Amino acid sequence: MFTEESIAVNVTVENWEEAVRTAGQLLVKSGAAEPRYIDAMIKTAKELGPYIVLMPGVAMPHARPEEGAIQEGFSLVTLRKPVYFGNPDNDPVKVVIAFCAPDSSKHIESLAWLAKTLEREDFLDHINHCTSAQQILELFQGAAKGKTVC
């Protein structure tokens, strides 16, 4: 789901748009999305509101497949300082996980696993204590095996 190149740790951003852009750039860099996908994620969030803040501290920006998705891809950014997306129940956000898929059904299984993993007790705390992309990769690999790392 993630690669070391699709993860950025302890990133400084000024606002939610910059956080989404940072996560989107990782999707583009990995070859999962075209650059226009980044603008589509921001536009979608502006039009539909901060629904992308799915749980306390976690935003999952995305856009429609036809807006520049090339293949299934995920990126993860941890923020040095949390930012506000405008969701009174789940702000501020410290972890941004962007995703894309070439069709709307292709990523459902991955998203279901990701959501279940993120809901595990203390999992987000562990993510926020990781100091490298490698540690976050190990954390997710451990979660797949029922273990915790970091």
CATH of the domain at 65: 3.40.930.10
Q: Would you say residue 130 lies in a domain?
A: no
pLDDT digits (tens, 9 = 90+) for 107-134: 677 778 888 888 887 899 999 999 999 9
Q: Is the pTM of this model over 0.85?
A: yes
Q: Would you say residue 14 lies in a domain?
A: yes
Examine the residue annotation and report whether 62 is marked as an active-site residue of this protein.
yes
Active-site residue identified among 62, 107, 126, 129: 62
Q: Would you say residue 71 lies in a domain?
A: yes
Q: Would you say residue 145 lies in a domain?
A: no
Q: Would you say residue 149 lies in a domain?
A: no
DSSP state of 5: G
pLDDT given for residue 113 in this prediction: 80
Q: Would you say residue 129 lies in a domain?
A: no
* Domain span holding position 82: 4-104
Q: Would you say residue 128 lies in a domain?
A: no
The tally of domains found in the chain comes to 1
Q: Would you say residue 13 lies in a domain?
A: yes
Place of tokens 């950025």: 8
